[in-house]
Every structure is written in structure tokens, then in C-alpha cells.
Amino acid sequence: MKKFLNLVIASIVGSALTISVFMFTGIGKNNEPFIRSINSIPGKNAVYTVNENGEVAPLEFTDVSKNVMDAVVHIKVSKKVSARNYYNPQMQLPFDDDFFKFFFGEPPHQQKQQQQKEDSYMQMGSGSGVIINPDGYIVTNNHVIDDADEIEVSLSDNEVYKAKVIGTDPSTDIALLQIKKTGLKYIPFGNSDNVEVGQWVLAVGNPFDLNSTVTAGIVSAKGRNINIINDKSAIEAFIQTDAAINPGNSGGALVNLNGELIGMNTAIASPTGTYAGYGFAIPTNIVSKVVTDIMKFGMVQRAYLGVTIRDIDGNFATNKKLSTTEGVFVDSLVSKSAAGEAGILAGDVIKSIDGTQTKKSADVLEIIGQHHPGDKVSVKVDRKGKELSYDVVLADNKGGKKVVNKEEEDILDVLGATFETLDKKTASNLGIDGGVRVKDLKNGILKSQTDIKEGFIITGINNKKVSSAEELKKDFEEIHGGVMISGTYENYPGEIYYAFGIK
């Protein structure tokens, strides 16, 4: 009975306390829920880093963003496209079947504007660019402005200017533009060689035509070769980042937390063509070299080791009986090889260049890509387990070891092809006196201004017969202005004409 009484008393006291709490707090009045707001949760600066003074400080991107956003521009281009190149929905677009995609913007059938004439229509595209000095110089990707008839640049204050192409380099996918405006805010170049995997970066650009967009991420990898640049002399050593970049970011800025330009956003890896966590930027040390060459010489001064190279893995090392699995394998030497002249042999493994380790082909391309013909580099190789060093004087693609101005550029390089004299038997079978066959078509006037294909046989230039490669080169060197070439294809009937201009 005593225990029962104690239980009853405890129940009464508990009930009284509960009623008192409800009355005191107001809970239950008008059936209103109890809600308490807390405004002091420390979430704004939840991540910390060490500043330049060695002090722990909150990690935030606002100051960097303010410093760089005004120096990133929106680029819009228009191009008149011939009806014969009109979009066919059954045709595959470039890179459609490739996991890696350039930022060409929307496909042609989505970009198509009202057809202006029966034989042509206007195709529109857009991208980003970075102001690199106060005098209106802007860098962007070559694929953003390639073959554009008109380039329009919008600044952060919405001012719009027409842009002039100062120079391009398809091998690195870099283009230099200029607008008629001075006193501009610009982004200084940082040293991309000092970039480390894991460091914070910001990507700034105009994805999907959304002006002045900033995203944050880290450097995921360096020296990525993703085989995206369609050029036989392509240099790919991309900085990989997980900062969100999308179509329209091409040519935009990748900056470090000091506000320095360390890369130019160029490509993404995505199964859908939009952000999937993998973006790629051209290192600024390559951008700086290309831009400086264009401004100083009017053209890029490309240096070569004169070797064909490939990466090494365990299986390859076993198959070739190599003593190392780290380095870059010299598969063969080209004609007039700078490396061959120095003593490097096919089968050697390049371990380092000027003291920098070369673990993959992209490392070699990036290092050599920052040099000019005539520069000397120290190359360390492994030859059957023995380490050797060679001083290599780099050369251009013809074996020359000095820089040249644009005025001295070989006309065949300007045309963008190699040529060979047609043999007499083939000429006889075609019923012609002779001609010159187009070989190894690459970036140049022929590719950009005509639809000429490899294998075309040139029989005349401006109504003058041509029968040898030497004669063709001489004729082209004497021409300035409009050119009409005539000729034929072996398996196509009739005579064909191509017209273009030489400055």
C-alpha cells in the first residue's frame, strides 16, 4: 500500500510539473508548433587554409572572384556556311562517338538561323576569352573562333566590340584576339609548372550563355593527353579539374586563389556533353609561349625533338625487355632528328628533360612545347639499364635551328600540305601531261578555304600548267591575292577547280 501511495504521489507531481512547463513556454496555445530559430550556426567559413603569413584563415573565394570576373569576356561568333555543308541529321557530328568533347556549343541544326540564301545560312556559336593585358589582347580557344566571319566580344559591363584575329595555333588550340579598347582589367599569368594536384582552383566563363559564372574545384591531375586536338603536331598536356565547366566555358579562365591565370578551359570528359566532373585546361606556360610568339614573330615557333614517342606500362616494358616502367619510350627517329643528331636512339627511354621527370608522353610534349628552335635541352635516357645524358639542340619540323618571322615562312606551310610530283605512269593512265599530288593535308589555307582532299592532283595554277612539286612551290611563292587551281582525282571524272586567296 505504501508503494502504491508513493507511485500516485509521484504521478501527481510529474503531471503538475508538465502542466507548469507548458504554461510557462506557451506550448500548446492555439495549437501552434514549437519552433526555435538559431542564427549563429558557424557555416559560412567552415573550411580553413593557411594564408601567405602562415596563419590559419577561412577559405573563401569572394575576393578572387571579384578580381578576375571583369577580365573574362563573352565571345560570340557567326559563320556563313555553304548549303553543301548543310546539316544532315543522319551525319555524325565531330566527336559524337568520342567520350571527350570540345565545346562547340549547340550542334549546327540547333544553331541554324533563318536561311539567308538558297546556297548558305548563318551558323552561330559562343565561348569565353581572357583579357591578358590592358591593351585589349584576349586569348581564347582556336575552336571557338575558327573560320568565323565575325567575332563579337562582350565585356563585363556589357560593352560590345568587334574583335580582330591576331594569330592562331591549331596545334595547341589557342587563338589571340584584340579589341579596340585600352585600360582594361586583365588577369596576370601564373606559373603552371608550380600547379599541384589537390590545390583549389576557380573556373570562370560563360557556360550556356550565362555571363560571368564562377565555379570552384581542385586540380585533379596534370599532363593529361586526351587526343582531342585534331592536328598532327598536337600538344596536349591538360590540367584536369573537377571545377564545373560546360559548353560555353571554352577559352575561359582557370585561376588559383592568388587570382593568377594557370590554365585556359578547353574540353570536358562527359557521356552527355555537359559537366560530369572532368574538365581540362591548357597550362598557361604553353599559352604564354604561343601568345608571345604570335605577338613577337607573327607565328608560333614550334620546336621538336624529332622522335615519335609512346607511354610505357608493365606489359609493354616486358614485351620490349625494358629495365624500367617509368618514362617515355622512343619508338623511332624522324628525318633530320635533333635527338638523333645528339646521340639518342630508337628504343631509349626518356627519363627527364632539364631535370623534370617525364613519366608520360604529355610531359615531353609540354616541356618541349615551351621551347623554340635552337634552344638546348638536357635529356636523360635509360638505355638497357644504363643512364645516359645528351644535350639536344631543338629544331623545327624541317630541321632548322633558328626562329623565323612570318614573312620568312615557307609557302608550303602556309598552304598546309606536302606535295609530290605525279609519276609518269599515273599521268598517262589519267590522260594528262603531268601534275602534283596533294599529300598530308594539315591546317593551312587549303584546308580552311577549300574542300580539297588528300590525293587531289593539281594540273594548273591560274591557267598555267604545273608538272612538278618544285614548279608548284615556285609559282605559289610568286602569287599574292586570288588563286585558282585546277586538277582531278584519280577515281573521279572531270576537271575540278578550287579558289582561295594568299596574303
Show pLDDT as tens, one digit a residue, over the chain (503 residues): 555 455 445 555 555 555 454 454 444 444 444 444 344 444 444 466 666 667 766 677 999 999 999 999 999 999 876 554 433 333 333 333 333 344 434 444 444 444 444 456 788 899 999 999 999 999 999 999 988 889 999 999 999 999 999 999 999 999 999 999 999 999 999 999 999 999 999 999 999 988 889 999 999 999 999 888 877 788 899 999 999 999 999 999 999 999 999 999 999 888 888 888 899 999 999 999 999 999 998 889 999 999 999 999 999 999 999 999 999 999 999 989 999 999 999 999 999 999 999 999 999 999 999 999 999 999 999 999 999 999 999 999 888 888 877 666 678 778 888 899 999 999 998 999 999 999 888 778 888 788 899 999 999 999 899 989 999 988 888 887 889 999 999 988 889 999 988 86
Options 2.40.10.340, 2.40.10.120, 1.10.1740.110, 3.40.309.10; CATH for 61-293 is 2.40.10.120
What is the distance between the alpha carbons of residues 126 and 122, in angstroms, rounded to a whole number? 13
What is the distance between the alpha carbons of residues 377 and 161, in angstroms, rounded to a whole number? 43
Superfamily of domain 410-502, CATH level 4: PDZ domain (2.30.42.10)
Exactly one of 250, 337, 352, 467 is catalytic; name it. 250
Establish whether 154 is a catalytic residue.
Answer: no
Cell numbers linked to 351: 627519363
Q: Are 281 and 265 in contact (CB under 8 A)?
A: yes
Exactly one of 74, 126, 143, 382 is catalytic; name it. 143
Fold matches, 307-393 and 410-502: yes
Establish whether 74 is a catalytic residue.
Answer: no
Cell 565575325 belongs to: 150
Q: Which amino acid is present at 461?
A: I
Exactly one of 173, 242, 375, 475 is catalytic; name it. 173
Establish whether 143 is a catalytic residue.
Answer: yes
Residues in the chain: 503
Superfamily of domain 307-393, CATH level 4: PDZ domain (2.30.42.10)
Neighbours of 184 (CB within 10 A): 19
Residue ranges of alpha helices (H) inside 259-358 are 284-297, 314-319, 338-342
Q: Which has the closest alpha carbon to 289: 403, 159, 447, 156?
A: 403
So where are the chain's domains?
2-31, 61-293, 307-393, 410-502
What is the distance between the alpha carbons of residues 329 and 347, in angstroms, rounded to a whole number? 6
Cell 590545390 belongs to: 199
